[in-house]
Amino acid sequence: MAAVSDDVAPDEWECRVFLAVAEHRQHTKAAEALSPTRPMHLRDKPYARQLVGKTIARIERWCGEPLFEGNRGQLRLTERGREFERAARSVVGEYELMRKPNPGDGLPRLACLPHHAAFVAPAQARLIERFGRPRVAVDYLEPHRHAAPDLHRHALLIGAPPPLGSRSVRLYTARLEAMVPAAHFPGVRLALPELLRRYRVIPHLTGVPDDRRAAWGLDRHPGAQVGRPAGDTAAAVLRLRHETAARWDGRVLVAPSDVALPFKAGMEFGGRYADRFKWVPIVADAPLTYEVHLTVRPAGPDEAIDAAVAAVQTAARALPHLGGS
């Protein structure tokens, strides 16, 4: 791997340009997406494709090697590009957090992903009922901002297990599941090789640690519909159920059990046709699971934090079918 150059590191806007190319896979569409959000000094005219190319070239010179491969119409991230993508999201996320007004409420802050609301929201309600006021403020972060660099701004973080030595409590173990039509799939589990060989995979892997994603290979398998899913998981579930209710075309939505939970039959967002589909665990030689922890930022005794930890643990235990628990 080549070393970075001594030039000035890419700034926030250059990171945004890189992320736009990573998402749209070509310079022209990236430029179109960037135009409405470009900095003030660039607003006199639309952001040009040529400027996107120059920015990517400068970032690659700084990194010392190519970050994209393929032709201009279908660019793909290299391994080094995927590493830079994670760094770029952290840079952009840090600036976004700094722009957010501080509510000044003095409450400890908890960072989590939107699907964690299934147990975080009841935990908040329980705390208010018990103490008569909020005891913790919750920030529901986008996946690209839900990373270790954000922890210094939050007393609590829900996600993958923390580094050794950090204080944390295990909430549950999530497993990988597939949404399949009950009429076409009589089994109770689906082998990973069979999934990749026979079906069209739509991965929605929110919250899955990078090492698990890499090991499972769902994002890069030739048989999968790779890239970023169109819309959120709720939209994908709704669309797939309506489009394949009468005739299944082999598409399978794959998601962690905690992301899938609200959309199962009998749950809050199960919705129409939920009983015609089932979520089955995906199995392989090694378990397709990962632990979800509540990490506590190092600090002295704090009654509000301890109360929040206990409330979140209780609410998580009350949820059925999180998988692998």
Indicate if 85 and 127 belong to the same structural domain. no
HSE, side-chain direction, 13 A CA sphere, residue 113? 20
Q: Identify whether 322 is part of a domain.
A: no
Which amino acid makes up residue 135?
R
Same domain, 113 and 185: no
- Whether 2 maps to a domain, the answer reads no
**6 domain residue, yes or no:** no
Q: Is residue 57 part of a domain?
A: yes
pTM of the model: 0.69
pLDDT at 227: 38
Ramachandran assignment for 301, one of left (phi > 0), alpha (psi -120 to 50 degrees), beta (any other): beta
In this structure, the answer to whether residues 74 and 118 fall within a common structural domain is no
Query: Would 48 be classed as within a structural domain?
Result: yes
- State whether 67 and 163 are in the same domain: no
Domain count, the chain: 3
CATH number of the domain that residue 24 is part of: 1.10.10.10
Range of the domain at 302: 109-170+290-317
Instruction: Please indicate, yes or no, whether residues 192 and 280 belong to a single structural domain of this protein.
Output: yes
Q: What does the CA dihedral 218, 219, 224, 225 come to, rounded to 10 degrees?
A: 140
Domain annotation covers residue 259: yes
Q: Residue 263 CB: number of other CB atoms within 10 A?
A: 23
> Of the residues 67, 99, 131, which one is the last residue of a structural domain?
99
| 282 shares a domain with 183 | yes
Among all chains, which residue has been given the structure tokens 């008569």? 132
The answer to whether the Cα torsion of 137, 15, 228, 48 is positive or negative is positive
Does residue 81 lie within any of the structural domains? yes
CA 16 to chain centre: 18
**Residue 238, pLDDT score:** 84
- Tens-digit pLDDT profile for the chain (325 aa)? 555 555 678 888 899 999 999 888 899 988 888 888 777 766 667 778 889 999 999 999 988 899 999 876 788 889 888 888 878 887 777 677 666 655 546 788 899 998 899 899 999 999 998 888 888 888 888 776 555 545 567 889 999 888 777 788 999 999 999 999 988 888 899 999 999 889 998 888 888 888 888 888 876 655 444 434 444 788 888 888 888 767 888 899 999 999 998 888 777 677 777 888 899 999 998 889 999 999 987 665 688 889 999 999 999 998 876 544 4
Last residue of a domain, one of 99, 132, 158: 99
Do 194 and 176 fall into the same domain? yes
In the three-class reduction of DSSP (H, G, I as helix; E, B as strand; rest coil), residue 65 is classed as coil
Question: Given this model, what pLDDT does residue 225 score?
Answer: 45
- CATH number for the domain spanning 271: value is 3.40.190.10
The answer to whether the CB of 143 falls within 8 A of the CB of 206 is: yes
Assess whether 125 and 74 both reside in one domain.
Answer: no
Q: How much is the pLDDT for 226?
A: 41
Q: 149 and 295 share a domain?
A: yes
CA distance 98 to 82: 25
Ramachandran region, residue 213 (left: φ > 0; alpha: ψ -120 to 50; beta: rest) = alpha
Same-domain pairing of 34 and 124: no
* Residues forming beta bridges with residue 224, ordered by sequence position: 201
- Which pLDDT score is estimated for 324? 41
- Evaluate whether residue 182 is within a structural domain: yes
Residues 232, 91: one domain? no
Same domain, 36 and 52: yes
- C-alpha span between 109 and 139 (Å, rounded): 7
